[in-house]
Amino acid sequence: MRTVNRKRITQIVLVSLFLAGVFSPAVSAETTPENSAVVFDPHMLSNMFVEISELAGPSVVTITSQSTVLTRVPSFPDFSHPYMVDPWEDYYQMPRDQEYTMTGIGSGVIVSSDGMILTNNHVICEADKLEVVLQSGDRYPAEIIGTDPETDLAVIRIDAFDLPAIAIGDSDSLKVGQWILAVGSPFALSQTVTQGIISYIGRSDVGLAEYEDYIQTDAAINPGNSGGALVDLDGRLVGINTAIVTRTGGYQGVGFAIPVNVAVGVMEDLVTYGYVRRGWLGVTIQELTPGFAEHFGLDSRHGGVLVSQVLIDTPAGVYGIQRGDIILTIDGETFRTITEFRNMIANVDPGNEIEIGIFREGRNLSILVVLGERAADETIVSSVSSISDDFGWTLEELDRETAEALGDPFLRGVLVVDVNQSGRAISVGIYPGDVIIEVDGFEVASPEELNRLISSTDDVLLLILRQGHSVYFMM
Active site residues: 122, 152, 226
Residue 112 backbone zone (phi > 0: left; psi -120 to 50: alpha; other: beta): beta
Contact 443, 454 (CB under 8 A): no
| DSSP type of residue 168 | B
Residue 152 to residue 172: CA distance in whole angstroms: 20
Contact 197, 220 (CB under 8 A): no
Residue 121 to residue 426: CA distance in whole angstroms: 39
Contact 178, 164 (CB under 8 A): no
Beta strands in 149-275 (DSSP E): 153-158, 179-184, 192-203, 214-217, 229-231, 237-244, 255-259
**326-330 and 353-360: which strand pairing?**
antiparallel
| DSSP type of residue 301 | G
Residue 306 to residue 292: CA distance in whole angstroms: 8
* Burial bucket for residue 154 (CB in 10 Å: 0-12, 13-18, 19+): buried
Residue type, 324: G
Residue 142, SS3? strand
* Burial bucket for residue 5 (CB in 10 Å: 0-12, 13-18, 19+): exposed
Contact 475, 391 (CB under 8 A): yes
**Backbone dihedral angles phi then psi of residue 117, each to the nearest 5 degrees:** -130, 130
